[in-house]
């Protein structure tokens, strides 16, 4: 190779190396395909999660203490539903129920002396955000408002809320009345497990039942409307969201605008918590509705509810050993049911963490469908649940192997060891007793012989004495 060819070859190598260096730098600088852009919601604290699996899609200042305003009433409703068996029970509204309820604060429209079913008080609590309804329910359920507040704080601790403290059942401002987006999600997640709660919070308007004060309203029962524009389809504004499942708004000047909302789309359920939002000047509504709707859509666009484990699928099967059978020495376990969860759309199912809890072996007989273990599924630290592992087929038992195993186990059992030790002890005890008795007899014979010899000596001495005389 001449000098020119060598120079050209080196130049090509340098250019190739430079090209790959630039290419790698560009790849490093570009965001990964799986990376999600931050939706940057206009709220001080945000929490968006799947209530079924607990998978968190997005969070922002989730553990920052915030004033919850009327989203407090979620806990008030939850405690009422947990402690009142008959929701048709009549409760009389009293003057005490209006203590602290200013004229410009939200009210359901109940009057002093009105006898209202608990279910209607709940609608008055959650739709128009009635502060007097909150006090009435608190007084009825707890015996007093103060006692009910104690119940609220106790229940929050039971649910695992670490940064929540209530001072009243309605959310009117108090510096020592606070929660976090995460804690409020926890409370809401539990409340949404109650079907009556779901029905109430997803109601846009409700005509309450007639009662003793209906005549004072011209014979017409009280009608209440939701403050949650996500479910108020009558207005069909940009705020309405067809997949929304309601829940609760809140607002005070100190808390800002708050909204806890739920949605369900194609089987995927989400709960959103937004605290500390603003209402732009001149806007008809605060940004909570548009931002919550946007967050829901962001969640559904980037995440999906999918089947993580398929019932009976071979890839999730597990093989274990079988004892006491002449037919098979192996048994296949399969998943008894499907398992679904909300995960990133670009997830690789091979990245799922599968934790099997199955025995190394089982004893025959086994019937197909017998539960013999579990499979727990996790991803990125989120526990998606557990499915049972069941036997795929029958395995019969060999009676010969069964009784042989019983005999073998008997000889290996602690009872057998105890019996052996007991026999050995009895053996030595028996021969010890025999030896002891024989020794005693020998000693007695020796003593008797000595006694006889002593007597003979005495007789002999006496005879000699007598003869000497």
Q: Which residues are catalytic?
A: 70, 73, 129
Sign of the dihedral through C-alpha 439, 441, 442, 444? positive
**Any idea what DSSP says for residue 279?**
-
Pairing relation of β-strands 361-363 and 318-323? parallel
Q: Which residues contact 165 (CB under 8 A, 6 or more apart)?
A: 153, 156, 176, 177, 178, 179
Question: Is the CB of residue 293 less than 8 Å from the CB of residue 239?
Answer: yes
Rounded CA separation 264/253 (Å): 31
The helix (run of H) or strand (run of E) holding residue 214 is none
Among 218, 217, 235, smallest CA distance to 226 is for 235
Q: Peptide bond before 201: cis, by omega within 30 degrees of 0? A: no
For residues 112 and 133, give the distance between their C-alpha atoms in angstroms, rounded to a whole number.
11
User: Distances from the Cα of 244 to the Cαs of 126, 257, 349, 407, in angstroms?
Assistant: 15, 18, 29, 66
């Amino acid at each position: 190779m001449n000098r020119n060819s060598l120079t050209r070859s080196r130049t090509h190598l340098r250019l190739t190396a430079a090209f790959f260096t630039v290419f790698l730098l560009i790849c490093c600088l570009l965001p990964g395909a799986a990376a999600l852009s931050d939706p940057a919601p206009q709220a001080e604290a945000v929490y968006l999660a799947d209530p079924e699996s607990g998978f968190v899609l997005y969070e922002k200042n989730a553990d920052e203490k915030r004033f919850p305003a009327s989203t407090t009433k979620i806990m008030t409703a939850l405690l009422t539903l947990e402690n009142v068996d008959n929701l048709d029970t009549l409760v009389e509204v009293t003057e005490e129920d209006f203590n602290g309820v200013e004229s410009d604060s939200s009210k359901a429209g109940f009057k002093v002396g009105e006898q209202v079913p608990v279910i209607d008080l709940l609608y008055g609590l959650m739709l128009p955000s009635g502060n007097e309804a909150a006090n009435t329910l608190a007084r009825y359920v707890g015996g007093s408002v103060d006692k009910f507040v104690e119940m609220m704080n106790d229940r929050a601790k039971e649910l695992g809320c670490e940064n929540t403290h209530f001072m009243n059942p309605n959310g009117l401002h108090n510096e020592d009345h606070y929660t976090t987006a995460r804690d409020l999600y926890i409370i809401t997640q539990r409340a949404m497990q109650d079907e009556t709660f779901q029905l109430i919070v997803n109601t846009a308007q409700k005509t309450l039942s007639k009662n003793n004060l209906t005549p004072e309203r011209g014979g017409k029962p009280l009608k209440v409307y939701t403050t949650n524009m996500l479910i108020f389809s009558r207005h069909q504004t940009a705020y309405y969201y067809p997949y929304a499942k309601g829940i609760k708004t809140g607002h005070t000047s100190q808390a800002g605008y708050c909204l806890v909302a739920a949605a369900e789309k194609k089987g995927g359920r989400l709960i959103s918590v937004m605290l500390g939002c603003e209402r732009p000047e001149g806007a008809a509504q605060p940004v909570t509705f548009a931002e919550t709707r946007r967050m829901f859509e962001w969640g559904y666009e980037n995440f999906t509810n999918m089947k993580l484990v398929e019932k009976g699928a071979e890839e999730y099967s597990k093989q274990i050993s079988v004892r006491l059978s002449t037919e098979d020495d192996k048994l296949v376990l399969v998943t008894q049911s499907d398992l679904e969860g909300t995960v990133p759309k670009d997830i690789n199912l091979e990245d799922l963490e599968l934790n099997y809890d199955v025995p190394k072996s089982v004893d025959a007989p086994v019937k197909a469908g017998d539960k013999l273990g579990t499979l727990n599924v996790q991803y990125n630290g989120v526990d998606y649940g557990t499915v049972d592992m069941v036997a795929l087929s029958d395995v019969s038992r060999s009676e010969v192997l069964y009784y042989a195993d019983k005999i073998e186990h008997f000889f290996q059992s602690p009872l057998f060891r105890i019996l052996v030790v007991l026999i050995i002890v009895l053996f030595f005890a028996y021969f010890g007793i025999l030896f002891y008795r024989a020794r005693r007899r020998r000693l007695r014979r020796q003593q008797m012989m000595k006694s006889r010899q002593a007597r003979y000596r005495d007789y002999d001495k006496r005879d000699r004495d007598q003869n000497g005389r």
